[in-house]
Copies of this chain bind each other. A is one copy, B any other.
Amino acid sequence: MSAIRHALNTKREDDFAAWYQEVISAADMAEESGVRGCMVIKPWGYGIWERIQRLMDDRIKAAGVQNCYFPIFIPLANFEREAEHVEGFAKEMAVVTHHRLIADGKGGLIPDPEAKLEEPLVVRPTSETIIGDAMARWIQSWRDLPLLTNQWANVVRWEMRTRMFLRTSEFLWQEGHTAHATREDALEETHRALEMYRACAEDDLAMPVIAGEKPENERFPGADETWSIEAMMQDGKALQAGTSHYLGTNFAHAAGIKYQDKEGGEQFCHTTSWGVSTRLVGGIIMTHGDDDGLRVPPKIAPHQIVILPMLRDKPEDGAVLAYCEEVRAALADQSALGEPMRVLLDKTPGKAAGKRWDWVRKGAPIIVEVGPRDMENGKLAVLRRDRLWNPDNGKPNFDFADRDAFIGGAADMLGEIQQALFAEARERRDANITRGVTSMDEVAAHFAEDKRYPGWVEVEWSKPSGETLDKVVEQLKALKLTLRNVPRGGEAASGTCIFTGEPAVERVLVARAY
């Protein structure tokens, strides 16, 4: 294996953080914009996000949730009335104070003092409070419930330390917001959204996740319950990849979301909210990327198959291109993984070998190369991104396939790649969750500096709250650890809480995290 010359300069095991940045740049997914904390999402990165959006939106619509659009600006008053919520967000919001610029007389521009807003506006960090206002207008009676809304939008949370896709001041997301007559209905919706996220993460993104409830200290500001899906990255850290909140009647009280029940009585609604963001793209990189770049699961690959004609500025180029175009059309005519196959014939200038490595770094699931001899023999050279290297000789693992056989089997091959990426990630994840850890000392030892891939540990605890929980969180923080979630449907606890020494009531995951 030592002969392999990988397509990236940085290996995951050498410097995972640098590797992450190199993948983003080598796969041409995004870049720093020059605007503090904001990134530019480039076509390949945005194309992956568009695929996630499409598949998630189908799931959202299938659940009867309707898309809307709410204002980007939120008046201060909305934050003032929900004390707990604002405490969670007030520290990092972009505030609009003026609505005009004027010349400063020195060749520059300044906010026009005459155009100062009477009440500053906040660029939405999330939309519970403004959507709560709308719900209060829209809901009168039990007949209006449940009210199921979602929006795809940009949000801004001022971040001091940013990292592309994982933590940026502006990011893209969907936020579902629903209102229900009862606690039971709202909890059911909270769990429906959580399960939708699990299914999308695992079935579409091939990213195994553990769905569970966040401990009290990790709850969304103003929520009664926060649930999450947690994915394990290849450095063993956890990534919170989606959250679903049961908000109780807290936001309903603050915004006046009330309904008349069947008996004519006035009741507060129970609300939920749930979201996933462009952070998922970061999760895909750290789940599926390797030392040659990104590997995109076929379901979310903007191009599933990329065909590279080997052109030599010779007369036969035209015939090679025509042969490639026939292959492209025959593939694009088929379905794979339930949708029309997405096939690109890459005719951009440049040598096929150079372009091959570009597409390897971008992680196109299947790369097909066609030269004049292949054409004559009715063949193709097929490279599966999930089996890039031939272990025997350390060279790219080309399969010289019969053209028609490849076309006939391409849909199955894409399905196999989707499964293979998921299986690989799940095996690694499962192999790196340590159970049966019964003391904080053991936890500390497990995460000691020299352990390269500590993964997660599952421990039993007494589910402390308030100040007791604060102490647990501080203890863990000293080890750079966090509480992730209590897996849904997890095994019951039978022992002693490793933090409090009290009888344990459930199991919680502990990990380093993004």
Residues of A within 8 A of B (CB): 31, 33-36, 38-43, 46-47, 49-50, 66-76, 79-80, 86, 90-102, 107-111, 120-123, 130, 133-134, 137, 143, 149, 153-154, 156, 158, 170, 172, 349-350
Contact = CB atoms under 8 A, between A and B. Distances in A.
Given A31-B137, A46-B69, A109-B80, A95 B94 contact: no
A38 B102 CA distance: 24
The 8 A-B pairs with the shortest beta carbon distances in the complex, nearest first, are A38-B71, A43-B66, A41-B69, A99-B158, A95-B98, A35-B71, A90-B101, A97-B97
Contact of A40 (B69, B91, B349): B69
B107 A80 contact: yes
A111 B121 CA distance: 10
A109 B79 contact: yes
Contacts of A33: 70-71, 130, 133-134
Chain A contact residues, majority secondary structure: mixed
A312 B408 CA distance: 54
Nearest to A160: B99
8 contacts: A31-B137, A33-B134, A36-B121, A86-B109, A93-B101, A95-B101, A100-B158, A111-B120
A154 B153 CA distance: 8
Number of copies: 2
A99 B95 contact: yes
Contacts of A74: 35
A35, A91, A99: residue with the most chain B Cβ atoms closer than 10 Å: A99
Given A46-B69, A72-B156, A76-B109, A97 B95 contact: yes
A75 B109 CA distance: 11
Contact of A134 (B40, B91, B96): B40
B67 A43 contact: yes
Contacts of A72: 38, 123, 154, 156, 170
A76 B34 CA distance: 12
B73 A97 contact: no
A96 B99 contact: no
A69 B168 CA distance: 13
Contact of A108 (B76, B100, B153): B76
Contacts of A95: 96-101, 111
Contacts of A34: 75, 133
A90 B109 CA distance: 9
Nearest to A159: B99
A71 to B, nearest CB: 4
